[in-house]
Structure 1
Amino acid sequence: MPPAEWSLAAPLVALALGYLLGSIPFGLILTRLAGLGDIREIGSGNIGATNVLRTGNKAVAAATLAGDMLKGTAAVLLADQFDMPAMVAGVGAFLGHLWPVWLGFRGGKGVATYLGVLLGLAWPFALAFAGIWIVVAFLSRYSSLSALVASAAIPVLLGLLGRSDLAGVFGLLGVLLWFRHAANLRRLMAGTEGRIGGDKS
């Protein structure tokens, strides 16, 4: 393909690549392989690691967390390797996790994939995200609140520390992440959100 044509097609290919990687439902695949049934029929019905943990299998929950995170990182690194816009691939991976075509566009809430994309694009800020999450979780015992606070803080930190190129992108991803946590927000405001270690989060 001539360079000019590739330059026009590359963003679309990167978006598609990211979406396909992001839409891999590790929670569903791993729970089935472990003989734990359909994760969509357990707990909140979400395919993410928090709900997988409700099966009582910490190893599968950890593997789900790693898979959902690293598919975002893989999308970024693969796009960069083939001279495609890595940022676009990362956005595609995040969208794929939230709305996977294989599951009728009903996916996860995006926290692990958000972190994985951030890891691929600006790893020091991924450490900052993890640090904020840990501090808020320690103080509040709310997993959802920790993710919401961390995702709100990262675009601000990116802008303040000279990464304005990424601040807008992660601001958008943060808005989508908050949107997917609408039910958690309602429970937090009502005081009925489950705490870490409880039955519901």
Structure 2
Amino acid sequence: MAIWLTLCSTIVVIAYLLGSFPTGYIAVKQLKGIDIREIGSGSTGATNVLRTLGKGPGAFVLVLDSLKGVLAIALVYWLFNFAASENFIPLTVDVKLWQSWLVILAGLAAILGHSKSIFLGFTGGKSVATSLGILLAMSWQVGLATAGVFAVVVAISRIVSLSSIAGAIAVPILMLVLHQPLPYILFGIAGGFYVIFRHRTNIERLLAGTEPKIGEKLVTEPEQTA
């Protein structure tokens, strides 16, 4: 049992480190020679990269940040397949239940890593793209439906933050509607709340009517990401 718990704990740590990989920071640093945390919203996520470098780099960061979430969940599935083949799983372990809970722990670790990167002094992005990757790996139906909600809201409003918040609100509802396991529903609630919390400054600007639309520059001071 000790070996099994060590393996599970290691997967969660690796998931955090995957989430922590500062894709947006590296992209802007390499292409423009500046610290993205000092411009725009101060976030290292794809939206701020879009405002800083344009659509191409923004899309590139979006894809890579999503892949971080996919890989975090894929690691859990790999662990269970490997452990089963090597007889590492204790007989007392309910495999289906453990896998579900480890999936959400790894997912939450990756989300936390993206917004509180150990490589950037525990600063980072809003965890939206990484969350989408996690959802796609966890339940592709929920992931695609969430992406659909985001796409509809952004098409109407042209505001990425509002679309992200709408997607975060939709996740636990979609989990319930699509009859996902209880751990996944709890992940939807916790992850959705965290993403919304990370957008608290955006919410203030939305209420004030100053949140920029796609193509517009953010003229306010960088928000605190620490």
Q: Do they fold alike, i.e. is TM over 0.5?
A: yes
Q: Structure 1: how far apart are the matches of 2:205 and 2:54? A: 25
| Structure 1 residue 36 displacement after superposition | 4.2
What is the match of residue 168 of structure 1? 186
Point out where structure 1 has 5 or more consecutive residues left out of the alignment: none
Q: Structure 2: how far apart are the matches of 1:8 and 1:127? A: 32
Q: Could you tell which deviates more after superposition, 105-114 or 39-48?
A: 39-48
| Cα distance change, pair 200–99 in 1 and its aligned pair in 2 (3 A) | same
- Which structure is richer in relative contact order (CA contacts within 8 A, separation 6 or more)? 2
Percent identical: 41
Contact 2:36 2:44 in 1 (8 A): yes
Task: Give 1:198's aligned amino acid.
Answer: E
What is the match of residue 2 of structure 2? 5
Asked if 1:17 is matched to 2:34, the reply is no
What is the match of residue 142 of structure 2? 125
Q: Structure 1: how far apart are the matches of 2:55 and 2:167? A: 23
Q: Structure 2: how far apart are the matches of 1:145 and 1:25? A: 24
**Displacement over 4 Å in runs of 4+:** none
Matched positions, count? 198
Q: Structure 2: how far apart are the matches of 1:87 and 1:14? A: 12
| Aligned residue runs from structure 1 range 79-94, under 5 A | 79-83=76-80, 85-94=102-111
What is the match of residue 94 of structure 2? none
Q: Structure 1: how far apart are the matches of 2:77 and 2:105? A: 10
| Structure 1 residue 168 displacement after superposition | 0.8
Q: Helix, strand or coil: the match of 1:34?
A: helix
Q: Could you tell which deviates more after superposition, 71-80 or 38-47?
A: 38-47
Asked if 1:189 is matched to 2:207, the reply is yes
Q: Deviations over 1:72-114 (max 9, x none)?
A: 1001102210127333211111110011111111111011011
Q: Could you tell which deviates more after superposition, 29-38 or 149-158?
A: 29-38
Contact 2:142 2:178 in 1 (8 A): no
Q: Helix, strand or coil: the match of 2:32?
A: coil
| Structure 1 residue 70 displacement after superposition | 0.5
Asked if 1:147 is matched to 2:164, the reply is yes
**What RMSD, in angstroms, separates the aligned Cα atoms of the two structures?**
1.6
Asked if 1:62 is matched to 2:79, the reply is no
Q: Structure 2: how far apart are the matches of 1:48 and 1:149? A: 18
Contact 2:20 2:117 in 1 (8 A): yes
What is the match of residue 53 of structure 1? 50
Q: Deviations over 1:129-176 (max 9, x none)?
A: 111011111111211111101111111111122104211112101111
Normalised TM-score (structure 1): 0.92
Q: Helix, strand or coil: the match of 1:82?
A: helix
